Structure 1
Amino acid sequence: MIITPPSAETAKGHVADMYAEDIEDDGFVFAHTQAMALNPDAHLAFEQLVRAVVPSIGLSVYEAATLGAAQAIGSTHCLLAHGRKALRAGVIDEDGLLAFAHGDDRRFSEAEQVVIRYARRLSTDAAEMSDADTQQLRDAGFSDRQIVDITLAAGARNLFSRSLLALAVPVDEVPGLAPALAEALTAS
């Protein structure tokens, strides 16, 4: 990574909070946290966006949108981090996440599968999306607010993931994932 993030010793304010959270959770500061620490206001805004969309769609739908988008654009950072978050939150079990890493999303609920497909399309072909794509979310039972929030969740993941990819931020090993699962998500 060519950029130089703030050191842990000089970190203040939100940067210090970002670093402390990683250290508390995993014993080290992730490279992606360090990269985002260069603009703590943007990181905070991203976190606020996530907090604004999750209440209407719930954590499982948020993680489905996040994983679908991350997989579509090849974001190993986010597949590993959100794979672990989905496991810890009980959104999916290890076998289901392993299947997802191999392209099989049937262990997610039917509505979550629709969200995953929508997030993948948004991440690969947004300019060609139409009302038909949104209608699939409506047919799965999502309200107008939820459709907007699913779109924002997938779009936000594109912003964050593509930024990490563009900056060539190294991918850290994510503690708490079985080696075979981490390998499958990395190859996904």
Structure 2
Amino acid sequence: MSIIETTPEAAATGRAAEIYADDRNALGYVPSHTKALSVNPDAFAAWRALQGAIAGSMGLRRFELVTLAAALGIGSAHCRLAHGNKSLKFLGEEELVRIARDYHDAGLSAAEVAMMEFAQKLSTNSAAMTDADSLRLREAGFEDREIVDIALAAAARNYLSRALQALAVDVDVPPGLSETLRHALLEPLGTRQPLAG
């Protein structure tokens, strides 16, 4: 549990109230991470704008697959659950369960596997990355802008996930997420982390 004192939903004003309302409208609730990061609402709004610029450039399917792989590399239960839930908008639950358990054996294209490997490596050992890692993406058919977007999406996930971990923000289970999918998303992390909600 985080020591950060957050603003209750009923007491939120200004930019924080707008951010809370956005999440209520999009998700049906306000996650713990939104409350914690809205302590600095301008920075959180800037983060969301960055995330939107990256996702808009690369497309939501690619963005979410890269995000899931980066969250796996980081060991982020927060982002695996939140983005697993978001991915249900364009992936069937059975396919997403397979991706969550092992994206190498989930029927994804070779290009999708390559970008997920890149994102996972960036999130576990970016200092060891070389041109060879980007070259693998190029060989998988990605152009320079796409390679940059994959790197930006994974790096942006590191920014948010690591802040949530450092602040010990509660891990929310999105309402309606099935037990099967929840386990598939968390099992590769080996997490025993307590979950909120």
Query: Normalised by the size of structure 1, how large is the TM-score?
Result: 0.92
Q: What do residues 150-174 of structure 1 show as CA deviations (whole Å, max 9, x unaligned)?
A: 1010000001011111111111121
Structure 2 residue aligned with 1:144: 144
Amino acid aligned to 1:121: K
Amino acid aligned to 1:55: G
Amino acid aligned to 2:36: A
Distance 1:134 1:6 in 2: 42
Say whether 1:44 aligns with 2:45. Answer: yes
Paired residue total: 186
Structure 2 residue aligned with 1:99: 98
Amino acid aligned to 1:175: P
Query: How far off its partner does 1:139 sit?
Result: 1.2
| Alpha-carbon contact 1:64-1:113 (below 8 Å) kept | no
| Alpha-carbon contact 1:96-1:108 (below 8 Å) kept | no
- Provide structure 1 residue ranges, at least 5 long, that are not aligned to the other structure: none
Say whether 1:74 aligns with 2:78. Answer: no
Query: How far off its partner does 1:32 sit?
Result: 0.7
Structure 1 residues 13, 143: CA separation in 2 closer, same or farther (over 3 Å shift)? farther
Structure 2 residue aligned with 1:62: 63
| Paired residue secondary structure (1:24) | helix
Q: Which of structure 1's runs of 4+ aligned residues deviate more than 4 A?
A: none
Query: How far off its partner does 1:116 sit?
Result: 0.5
Amino acid aligned to 1:37: S
Structure 1 residues 52, 137: CA separation in 2 closer, same or farther (over 3 Å shift)? same
Distance 2:93 2:28 in 1: 23
| Alpha-carbon contact 2:82-2:173 (below 8 Å) kept | no
| Alpha-carbon contact 1:31-1:171 (below 8 Å) kept | yes
Q: Is 160-169 or 170-179 further displaced after alignment?
A: 170-179
Distance 1:26 1:156 in 2: 21
Amino acid aligned to 2:29: F
Q: Is 96-105 or 174-183 further displaced after alignment?
A: 96-105
| Paired residue secondary structure (2:30) | coil
Identity among equivalent pairs (%): 46
Q: Pairwise mapping of residues 114-153 of structure 1 onto structure 2 (< 5 A)?
A: 114-153=114-153
Structure 1 residue aligned with 2:195: none
| Alpha-carbon contact 2:103-2:113 (below 8 Å) kept | no
- Provide structure 2 residue ranges, at least 5 long, that are not aligned to the other structure: 189-197
Query: Normalised by the size of structure 2, how large is the TM-score?
Result: 0.88
Structure 1 residues 27, 104: CA separation in 2 closer, same or farther (over 3 Å shift)? closer
Q: What do residues 78-101 of structure 1 show as CA deviations (whole Å, max 9, x unaligned)?
A: 11111111111x1x2212221222
| Paired residue secondary structure (1:185) | helix
Amino acid aligned to 1:165: Q
| Alpha-carbon contact 1:114-1:140 (below 8 Å) kept | yes
Query: How far off its partner does 1:36 sit?
Result: 0.8
